[in-house]
Amino acid sequence: DQQVKQNSPSLSVQEGRISILNCDYTNSMFDYFLWYKKYPAEGPTFLISISSIKDKNEDGRFTVFLNKSAKHLSLHIVPSQPGDSAVYFCAATGLGGATNKLIFGTGTLLAVQP
Amino acid sequence: DVKVTQSSRYLVKRTGEKVFLECVQDMDHENMFWYRQDPGLGLRLIYFSYDVKMKEKGDIPEGYSVSREKKERFSLILESASTNQTSMYLCASSLSAGGLKTQYFGPGTRLLVL
């Protein structure tokens, strides 16, 4: 049973416009959410995170929004650049234990067209 | 900067061979993880370790084992490689302390089993 879902396998956006990547989760015990970016043949790199006590976190061009009542988070990239083209994974944690296991979504491939 | 390294970027093995994938991190992290990434399935957790000589099964441990003899090193072992283990293997590490839940990934090992 997929606890973290990214329902859009791919997204295409024009350079300079906004990219919005969505993620839904089912487990209300999750209390921390992360976004990772992955280029082909490389490991994922951490992008931005948000705790469940917040509803927004911003870092430069990247903003993550969290809607706890809807169990939904989104990543906004403004303005989008061709170098942002990658697979984006959302992940959630908070099910207890010291290891902070992450539950990942299946990823969304973002293509930013020049 | 956290650095996680993996022993090989690409490997080609034959069915039935024993395969060792090594991962080393240099940030004194307690937790280490092994994932595999397959198209449309996201990152799936194979095994993780929260301390030296400690290990726990993830979501898909069948056909794999692990070893953690030193804090900085976490090895993934395929006892008898099969073609369905062809995949991208990713190692990650994280701290246990406080609210620091970010996992840092290595570059990945792309394994082809013939």
CATH of the domain at B13: 2.60.40.10
Query: Has residue B30 been placed in a domain?
Result: yes
Which tops the pLDDT comparison, B2 or A23?
A: A23
Mind telling me how many Å the CA of B32 is from chain A's nearest CA?
9
Name which of A45, A51, A101 is nearest B45 (Cβ-Cβ).
Answer: A101
For A42, A63, B2, B23, B94, the CA distances from A50, given in Å and listed in that order, are: 24, 10, 20, 28, 17
Ranges A48-52, A70-74, B2-6, B76-80: which has the least confidence: B2-6
Domains detected in chain A: 4-113 (2.60.40.10)
Contact B48 A99 (CB under 8 A): yes
Query: Can you give the residue range of the structural domain that contains B53?
Result: 4-97+107-113
Q: How far apart are CA A51 and CA B77, in angstroms?
A: 35
pLDDT of res. A68: 95
Query: Would you mind telling me the total number of residues written for chain A in this entry?
Result: 114
Q: How far apart are CA A5 and CA A30, in angstroms?
A: 13
Interface of B with A in 7-46 (CB under 8 A): 9, 30-31, 33, 35, 40-45
Name which of A6, A32, A43 is nearest B90 (Cβ-Cβ).
Answer: A43
pLDDT of res. A86: 97
Query: Has residue B54 been placed in a domain?
Result: yes
Tokens of B52: 């030296």
Query: Has residue B61 been placed in a domain?
Result: yes
Contacting residues of B for A97, CB less than 8 Å apart? 50
pLDDT of res. A94: 79
Query: Has residue B102 been placed in a domain?
Result: no
When pLDDT is averaged across residues A57-84 and rounded to a whole number, the result is 97
Q: Percentage of chain B surpassing pLDDT 70?
A: 95
Query: Has residue B34 been placed in a domain?
Result: yes
Interface test with B, best of A36, A37, A101 (most B CBs within 10 A): A101
Please tell me the total count of domains within chain B: 1
